[in-house]
Structure 1
């Protein structure tokens, strides 16, 4: 809830009184903290290091068996008799090159996709990298923003934070001035700012990530099977090698080098070199084909895991639909005046400094009326499923409005819900505009609200969505859509 106090200053451009804001750190204070090392300097690790990649691909059971036999053959036999060892270079090279390529891409994506928090320094809001945050920085947050460091809430305007990743608590937590905010959580409603109190490795999320970041290889039935074969082959090779050496030295009466060379030549066929190399080549071909489809494979066996997928869970927004929406219909209720309703919607759009996709569509469709002044606002909350605002209209009258889910704002059995259901069946997202009779900060404000209009919005379908789902269906893969939107509307999409 936004409350305007007597000490608030007026913005010459915007008619709404703006409250006093903290100016944040000065440039000098930031430099002092950087010099003391009080910086959020956690290294971003998006993949295994080069050393780990090389070690994992070189030190394998297959390479150990073939490598030892190869070295022995190089000392006791002509060079052409040791050509079998070069399968190690081919097999190892395929794995190393692929993982290094994936690592390069992942590291560049980590930089591109890094969150850019907004900090307030010298009274100005500036976007910086996460690693540039210093202790005591004042960080601005709004819906969808991630809390990147620990801190204490300095400003709160209907601020609600989802801490489910840290505590398991599903419901958003309302934050007030002085409350603690934890890194790893994110904002679901409202806005505000917090002062960083723990940065770098001292932050809660950084400590959790350090404890949990243990790299594990993708499970591969093919590689597991080959490893099992090699394990039994290794045990069988020992008595076989002893028997061959004895037969070559005693029975054939060959010299030691010749006996060893013949022994190695006898046991090499026991190692399934062709199977190992063929598996790596098949994986590599799969990587190349996926690369042509703009897919990134981190490990060769990941292709096998992809081939075993039988269910895909996906979101709707951004996956089946694009991010934006368009208002397609304004359905007036109870003889409401269309011109007046358009002014209300325009004012509601202007009242929220951080509009979500639905409100942004309303802003694009209905321009703000400069005659109206916002006196109170209630930011949208996923827990409430509605937002609101109170206005002083141009003629001096005041009014309060709610905008949100019809099934939340209206009682069960209300006749307007039937119209809402009909619009949902057409794949439209529907919001209800209702006049509120009480104070916006009253939890029961929706009771007795008067339905004024339904705003129907069309979600922009991705052009390739139908082809993608059809492909999954043809491959026998079940697609499950997980969404917080109205189930009927999602089903229509």
Structure 2
């Protein structure tokens, strides 16, 4: 027989057999050391985040930095270092991006370690939790409900072990595993328990590549990110013809010397580049990750922050979400004819012999700690969500079951009604019963004789009601979907004030037809006795009606629904399988953290929309102004009039962006914002930025045409003309900022006042006037500039109000008191 047993190579000259001693005790310390020395370890990345080197490279070598770098070198060629101030943007873009992403990486990596699934490994006869990286070839790894397999292997011990391989194969049905069965990493235990020997570790394991890809922290599949990419593509199409025109005008038509011509060309091209848009987006997301990290919220996929802000339905489990995980044995109601001492002994035996007790069994074990001395069980049936009961047989002492009363009992019986009455008070009720056949019999449980009702008390989370009220106020529906008795679930939901909690739906009565299911799930809010496959179907039904669904859960029965939901939210104390498929993990196990995640998502989306408006407006007016100047230069060759040189120096466009975009955009991107996320990001940005940019560009061009003194103008007149055009541009750009910042709060008014004051200082202090080549002393020119600017301001204001009316958007000048979620900012 021994020759037929599988062998394991330990070292170059040692071979061991997977004999009973190896299964029971696991590897020895010496054998583990030999495997580590030979590289037979589970050495895979804990998290597929970018290295610091990759972060630096990605932030330095960008297309925008390359464009600005070339333009900076051109300015240096002209000898005007002052006009090369925009080159500081290269350092700022790279430095800020690197710092924020490294901070976010460190936060995520720390949280990922805390939330990591830790397998229980036998070594030297002792079972202990280890990091997945510490597992070596031939380790014996124990399995219990909800555990996720971290390496491939062969089962060496099984007690009604069933694995769910849906994450690998897509098949939802659990698969029986017996001793000798092959198991793959990435699958998880649906029910039962056992142990397996690691046969493939590290990158050889089946799911290593899948896990590596699945855990990447990335911006893909983000509506916000794809919208910004569309905007950048649109900007590129605009820049090419406008850039070519201004280059031709400055170098060939304007008649200026090479130095001033090149300076004008650079001044026209630099503001076309939306140098801060991508940076501000990255910063907003990174800061969101860091803020949520401080709340013990692990964001496994970056779009989840954005996605949860778009959610309009939250499906929440009762246990561990609305109620605390811990339970207390409140009462034992003995059935007629049953013996209380036997009941207590049976409960104690079931609790002490359960290798992986759930919260209910732990509460029983805590209340009845004494082993009755019944010996080892002769048959075991682990709990599963499908059958709703578990059991153990003890030979002559009988076959004992522990499960749901409404599943094991006739609903019309008095004891079943008594159980329902108790459950209607929000208590958890289990039935202790005896069966007439071993619990592992295919026809088990057979004839069931009730022995007692086990009443468990669940404490409602103190923050659950406040959280539900927040979602109600934000027009987000909450649906409680639980595997517990519907009456009990309804009692908890009602006590929290959830609409529809007093009319719970028993999922066993749900229709099979998808349309009918969608109708039922859409109208009701509280569901009990929901099977795992039904949870998944209910999520799909809601999605079929156009809802964006978030699913919260902590148990293995929630995995399929978490995987299919738009956003899966797992509790940190939940099973490793739920944490692996969720996009967000609440490591503090607090359902009340969700509003803060929603708040962060809304802050990111709303603020990036504001910032995008500012940057795109600047690009539109820069491209249009360059286009108009370029066209005038081309037409001057045909109609024989003096061409217009570009009105600004590079330093002018730099300061024009300081207080209208740069500093305000940075502050707005990090500001509190609780506006509900909506789709159509690109269209909303375009319908404000394009007309505002057109007004700014045309008004600036008209002002410059009116004050331009011709090719014979003095250097002083040239500076005055450029200053006048700059005044017009800054006036309208400041008003665009004022429009984008609405609705106003005190800090936004301070921001606008500070921006205006900044320009007053620049235009009035002699040193700054000389340094930036500004001269507003010509009263006639300044009057024209202010008049053009005022007309532009009025037009931008009209555009904002008319656009809101046309698209049904509620316009407000000042924020309402409830616009902020307390604590989010």
Contact 1:321 1:460 in 2 (8 A): yes
**Equivalent position to 1:321, from 323, 339, 348:** 323
Kindly provide the CA deviation profile for residues 289-308 of structure 1, in whole angstroms up to 9, marking residues without a partner as x. 65675656789987554433
Specify the alignment match of 1:8 in structure 2: none
Query: Gapped runs of 5+ residues in structure 1?
Result: 1-17
SS of 2:154 mapped into structure 1: strand
Contact 2:97 2:283 in 1 (8 A): no
Q: After the TM superposition, which residues 168-183 of structure 1 pair with which residues of structure 2 at under 5 Å, given as runs?
A: 168-183=170-185
Q: Does 434-443 or 448-457 show the bigger shift?
A: 434-443
SS of 2:422 mapped into structure 1: helix
Aligned-partner Cα distance in 2 for 1:194–1:301 = 36
Aligned-partner Cα distance in 2 for 1:22–1:274 = 61
Q: After the TM superposition, which residues 69-84 of structure 1 pair with which residues of structure 2 at under 5 Å, given as runs?
A: 69-84=71-86
Specify the alignment match of 1:133 in structure 2: 135
1:275 positional shift: 6.6
Contact 1:407 1:417 in 2 (8 A): yes
1:459 positional shift: 1.9
Structure number with bigger Rg: 2
Aligned-partner Cα distance in 2 for 1:82–1:270 = 16
Alignment CA distance shift 1:31-1:277 (3 Å):
closer
Alignment CA distance shift 1:482-1:98 (3 Å):
farther
Aligned-partner Cα distance in 2 for 1:297–1:71 = 41
SS of 1:140 mapped into structure 2: strand
- Scaled by the length of structure 1, the TM-score of the pair is 0.83
Aligned-partner Cα distance in 1 for 2:234–2:93 = 21
Aligned-partner Cα distance in 1 for 2:77–2:301 = 35
Contact 1:352 1:379 in 2 (8 A): no
Aligned-partner Cα distance in 2 for 1:174–1:246 = 75
Specify the alignment match of 1:461 in structure 2: 460
What is the count of residue pairs matched by the alignment? Answer: 472
Kindly provide the CA deviation profile for residues 110-159 of structure 1, in whole angstroms up to 9, marking residues without a partner as x. 22333332332333334333222222222222233222211111112232
Aligned-partner Cα distance in 1 for 2:352–2:146 = 19
Specify the alignment match of 1:147 in structure 2: 149
Aligned-partner Cα distance in 1 for 2:205–2:21 = 30
Alignment CA distance shift 1:419-1:269 (3 Å):
same
Kindly provide the CA deviation profile for residues 156-209 of structure 1, in whole angstroms up to 9, marking residues without a partner as x. 223222222223333332322212222112223332221111111111111433
Aligned-partner Cα distance in 1 for 2:301–2:80 = 37
Kindly provide the CA deviation profile for residues 197-228 of structure 1, in whole angstroms up to 9, marking residues without a partner as x. 11111111114335666664155555555544
Contact 2:107 2:290 in 1 (8 A): no
Which structure is higher in helix share?
2
Specify the alignment match of 2:27 in structure 1: 25
Alignment CA distance shift 1:49-1:373 (3 Å):
same
Specify the alignment match of 1:439 in structure 2: 438
**Equivalent position to 1:388, from 385, 391, 398:** 391
Specify the alignment match of 2:124 in structure 1: 122
- Scaled by the length of structure 2, the TM-score of the pair is 0.52
Q: After the TM superposition, which residues 87-486 of structure 1 pair with which residues of structure 2 at under 5 Å, given as runs?
A: 87-210=89-212, 216-218=218-220, 224-271=226-273, 304-382=306-384, 383-391=386-394, 398-486=397-485
1:361 positional shift: 0.9
Contact 1:94 1:284 in 2 (8 A): no
1:378 positional shift: 1.6
Aligned-partner Cα distance in 1 for 2:463–2:240 = 58
Kindly provide the CA deviation profile for residues 316-339 of structure 1, in whole angstroms up to 9, marking residues without a partner as x. 333222221112232222243333
Specify the alignment match of 2:36 in structure 1: 34
Alignment CA distance shift 1:309-1:96 (3 Å):
farther
Aligned-partner Cα distance in 2 for 1:276–1:126 = 46
Contact 1:374 1:389 in 2 (8 A): no
Contact 1:151 1:181 in 2 (8 A): yes
Contact 1:153 1:180 in 2 (8 A): yes
Contact 2:159 2:194 in 1 (8 A): yes
SS of 1:444 mapped into structure 2: coil
Alignment CA distance shift 1:189-1:294 (3 Å):
closer
RMSD: 3.4
1:352 positional shift: 1.7
Aligned-partner Cα distance in 2 for 1:169–1:53 = 38
1:79 positional shift: 2.2
Aligned-partner Cα distance in 1 for 2:264–2:474 = 51
Alignment CA distance shift 1:95-1:304 (3 Å):
farther
Contact 1:160 1:381 in 2 (8 A): no
Contact 2:25 2:126 in 1 (8 A): yes
Which structure is higher in strand share?
1
Aligned-partner Cα distance in 1 for 2:173–2:301 = 37
Kindly provide the CA deviation profile for residues 256-307 of structure 1, in whole angstroms up to 9, marking residues without a partner as x. 2221111222343444567777767766776776567565678998755443
SS of 1:101 mapped into structure 2: helix
SS of 2:482 mapped into structure 1: coil
Contact 1:102 1:296 in 2 (8 A): no
Alignment CA distance shift 1:124-1:78 (3 Å):
same
SS of 1:111 mapped into structure 2: helix
SS of 1:358 mapped into structure 2: helix
1:93 positional shift: 3.8
1:362 positional shift: 0.9
1:376 positional shift: 2.2
Alignment CA distance shift 1:447-1:209 (3 Å):
same
Aligned-partner Cα distance in 2 for 1:485–1:203 = 37
Alignment CA distance shift 1:267-1:348 (3 Å):
closer
Alignment CA distance shift 1:92-1:483 (3 Å):
farther
SS of 2:470 mapped into structure 1: helix
Aligned-partner Cα distance in 2 for 1:299–1:384 = 34
